[in-house]
């Protein structure tokens, strides 16, 4: 009888624990949308005369492309930040070499060219705009962000 009394609490715990797995739940999700969207702007510059090409028209087209890439670099820097690496070398407690390197890495989607125009006689500029409302719409088309709206237990 005493062995049965010892098994009774263990059996009742197993039975009660097993009952909790009988309940199921349904989770309702809703998407999250920000209240406001920032708009970033960037300007990229490129010289015309050092560009590769046989004539002025080709060099101008290359400068337009380079200024657009520079504007994208600036937008990427605003969105993701800039990585800066520095290095200094000492020999006999005298600074012999100093180097500084920076890099930017990221993906920019949804930017649009506002305008491209010459600045002076030998420089080209391109203005870009990145509207985060547009970026959010692109994001929603690829991934559906969600949060729990309601949970039903059965």
Does 18 fall in a domain?
no
Does 2 fall in a domain?
no
Does 14 fall in a domain?
no
Q: How confident is the model at residue 83 (pLDDT cuts 50, 70, 90)?
A: very high
Does 67 fall in a domain?
yes
E strand segments, 9-146: 25-30, 39-47, 83-91, 94-103, 112-119, 123-131
Given a cut of 90, whether residue 67 has pLDDT beyond it is yes
Rounded distance between C-alpha atoms, residue 45 and residue 76, angstroms: 15
- pTM given for the model: 0.67
Does 28 fall in a domain?
yes
Does 74 fall in a domain?
yes
Does 45 fall in a domain?
yes
If we measure between CA atoms, which residue out of 117, 50, 19, 38 comes closest to residue 78? 38
Does 40 fall in a domain?
yes
Domain that holds residue 96: 24-153
Residue 123 · residue 46 · CB < 8 Å? yes
Exposed / middle / buried, residue 21 (Cβ in 10 Å: 0-12, 13-18, 19+): exposed
Given a cut of 60, whether residue 21 has pLDDT beyond it is no
């Amino acid at each position: 009888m005493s062995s049965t009394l010892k098994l009774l609490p263990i059996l009742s715990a197993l039975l009660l624990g097993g009952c909790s797995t009988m309940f199921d739940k349904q989770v309702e999700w809703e998407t999250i949308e920000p209240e406001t969207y920032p708009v970033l702007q960037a300007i990229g510059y490129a010289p015309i005369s050092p560009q590769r090409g046989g004539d002025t028209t080709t060099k101008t087209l290359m400068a337009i492309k380079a200024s657009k890439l520079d504007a994208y670099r600036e937008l990427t820097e605003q969105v993701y930040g800039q990585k800066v690496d520095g290095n200094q070398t000492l020999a006999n407690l005298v600074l012999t070499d100093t180097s500084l390197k920076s890099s930017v890495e990221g993906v920019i989607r949804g930017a649009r060219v506002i305008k491209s125009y010459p600045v002076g006689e030998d420089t080209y500029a391109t203005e870009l705009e990145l509207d985060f409302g547009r970026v959010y719409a692109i994001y929603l088309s690829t991934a559906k962000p969600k949060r729990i709206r309601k949970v039903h237990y059965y």
